[in-house]
A and B are shown apart, each in its own frame.
Chain A
Amino acid sequence: MIELRRLTKHYGNIVAVAGLDLEIKKGEIFALLGPNGAGKTTTIRMLTMLTRPTGGMALINGYDVTRDLDKVKKEIGVVPQHMNLDQELTARENLELHGRLHKIPAPERRKRTEELLNYVELQDRAGELVSRFSGGMKRRLMIARALMHSPQILFLDEPTVGLDPQTRRKIWDLIRRMNGEGMTVLLTTHYIEEAEVLCHRVGIMDKGKLIAIGTPGELKQKVGEVVVESFGGRDTGYKFFAGREDALAYARHLEGDVLIRESNLEDVFIELTGHKVGD
């Protein structure tokens, strides 16, 4: 369980995170969706104690991230956005180091290392230096590393950024599998599809604020489940409708090319913020 109350971060005059209120339940996969600079990474950094909040508070399984540091560290696993494996160590040594840092006794540490290497399918490359790994292998090893001390909550900051579509799906499967085994997952992403197919609930962030929250279905309902895009005029027109009939009726009166389709989270985002996720 993760609880954020008015969680705030200022960098001088710049407000990175502007008073987030949020509750993430045990066993959920929750995505913070938003463009670069929306404050997603800053939020994760505060929850993982790498950045100190300017105001408000955050509790992880009841422990305060500004006060009960060592207790919070036991509860959470962290997979940062940037590749920060130790390139001078092998895959196995990276896990071993993490296990030692988290004071896992030697026999258990060795057992867990081999288990996790199997879990992320790196057992054949375990003795190789990480610097020779591909992006997908590194990402999998980072997830294994975060799981070493058996945390209950996993933070993943942009877990599939820079990966090819197949590798991305492999990471999604891994996240679903962990979640199936009881892991609570909070991830950030600016990929609409990732939030849509992977997550139970999505919080849309823009300019440091949470502007909408709900299941992907709820969010789409909010703006209308069917969208009519028209290409007749100078700009692409968007109009949302609750049902197909209304959409068709509207489309009949339009000139030029028209596209009727189901709405997606991108539409929700554009409707709520007035700009695209990538802008």
Chain B
Amino acid sequence: MDFYTVLWREMVVLRRTFYKFFASRLVSPLLYLVAFGWGLGRGLKMNGGNYLEFVVPGIIALSAMNTSFNAVGITLNMSRLYHKTLEEYLIAPISAGAFVLGEVLAGTVRGLLASLIILALAFLFGARLAVNGWFLLVVVLTCFLFAALGVVAAMTINSHEDMANFSTFVILPMSFLCGTFFSPDRLPGAVAYIIEALPLTHASYALRALARGGELLPLSLAVLAAYAVVLFLAGVAVVRKVR
């Protein structure tokens, strides 16, 4: 239950700063919805449906990614390099696995909350999506794997500046290219091939298929689960190595 202590700390802070978190999580999805769903996409048809309903699962996927990655990555990187609060965990008798699980679950909670905010916003914008348990499971898996990526990045990148660079060169391109705003089959062959291997693409695919009519894509689900496991284990390994 050591992971719960790590999670407990994060939840104390989340509860205390909830309104700030809530307001900040409204802004970028709202802008995406206005720009792409409502402004650009009005009257646009995509794969036989309206564009708003096409784009909302993509926005959920990218927000899940951004929120979970940043929640863990930026704060843990600061904790390790600047505040040095990480030492408090390193001198405590808890395992690397418990520490990473606590951090990753905390990131997952934040990512899931951000995704629910978008679902509510999208509903107000008139999007009609089918949300079931599988849909939520895919969101959770997406949050989990990007929170774990946050741990790996935070523990291996040695400056805040490079942390920002990682976001710019890895996270930002994924936000736009991984099936979030348009289907990657429109991209040139080699690029599309790389995009198909990235986790966010499968998050977008899986969420879109489920939202449209509850179709489950087993391959995408398996890819997400595999990324989640591998990144979690990588996170545990890098925390262990820090001593």
| CB-CB under 8 A for A70 and B93, given A82-B84, A84-B85 | yes
B45 located at the interface, meaning its Cβ lies under 8 Å from any Cβ of chain A in the complex? no
A101 touches B85 (CB 8 A): no
B89 located at the interface, meaning its Cβ lies under 8 Å from any Cβ of chain A in the complex? yes
Q: What is the 8 Å Cβ interface bit string for chain B, positions 1-42, against chain A (1 contact, 0 not)?
A: 010010011001100110000000000000000000000000
A49 located at the interface, meaning its Cβ lies under 8 Å from any Cβ of chain B in the complex? yes
Count residues of chain A with CB under 8 A from any CB of chain B. 27
Partner of A84, one of B13, B83, B243: B83
Contacts of A69 in B (CB 8 A): 93
A259 located at the interface, meaning its Cβ lies under 8 Å from any Cβ of chain B in the complex? no
* Residues 61-89 (chain A) with a chain B CB within 8 angstroms: 69-70, 73-74, 76, 78, 80, 82, 84-89
A80 to B13, CA, bound (A): 23
| CB-CB under 8 A for A101 and B243, given A82-B84, A93-B12 | no
A234 located at the interface, meaning its Cβ lies under 8 Å from any Cβ of chain B in the complex? no
Contacts of B92 in A (CB 8 A): 73, 98, 101-102
A50 to B2, CA, bound (A): 20
Partner of A80, one of B16, B87, B93: B87
A101 to B84, CA, bound (A): 16
A244 to B135, CA, bound (A): 88
A48 located at the interface, meaning its Cβ lies under 8 Å from any Cβ of chain B in the complex? yes
B9 touches A73 (CB 8 A): no
Contacts of A86 in B (CB 8 A): 9, 83, 85, 88
Contacts of B94 in A (CB 8 A): 101
| CB-CB under 8 A for A100 and B243, given A50-B90, A84-B84 | no
Contacts of A80 in B (CB 8 A): 84, 87
B243 touches A50 (CB 8 A): yes
A52 touches B87 (CB 8 A): no
A82 to B90, CA, bound (A): 15
* Residues 74-94 (chain B) with a chain A CB within 8 angstroms: 83-85, 87-94
Least Cβ distance of A213 to chain B in Å? Answer: 27
Contacts of A100 in B (CB 8 A): 5, 8
A2 located at the interface, meaning its Cβ lies under 8 Å from any Cβ of chain B in the complex? no
A89 touches B12 (CB 8 A): yes
Least Cβ distance of A47 to chain B in Å? Answer: 11
| CB-CB under 8 A for A103 and B93, given A82-B84, A84-B85, A89-B13 | yes
Least Cβ distance of A51 to chain B in Å? Answer: 8
Nearest chain B residue, comparing its CB with the CB of A80: B87
A52 touches B243 (CB 8 A): yes
A50 touches B91 (CB 8 A): yes
Q: What is the 8 Å Cβ interface bit string for chain A, positions 99-138, against chain B (1 contact, 0 not)?
A: 0111100000000000000000000000000000000000
A97 located at the interface, meaning its Cβ lies under 8 Å from any Cβ of chain B in the complex? yes
7 A-B pairs (CB sep. < 8 Å):
A73-B93, A84-B87, A97-B5, A97-B8, A97-B88, A98-B88, A101-B93
The 6 closest A-B pairs by CB, nearest first: A101-B92, A84-B84, A100-B5, A70-B93, A73-B93, A88-B13
Residues of chain A at the chain B interface (Cβ within 8 Å) = 48-52, 69-70, 73-74, 76, 78, 80, 82, 84-89, 93, 97-98, 100-103, 145
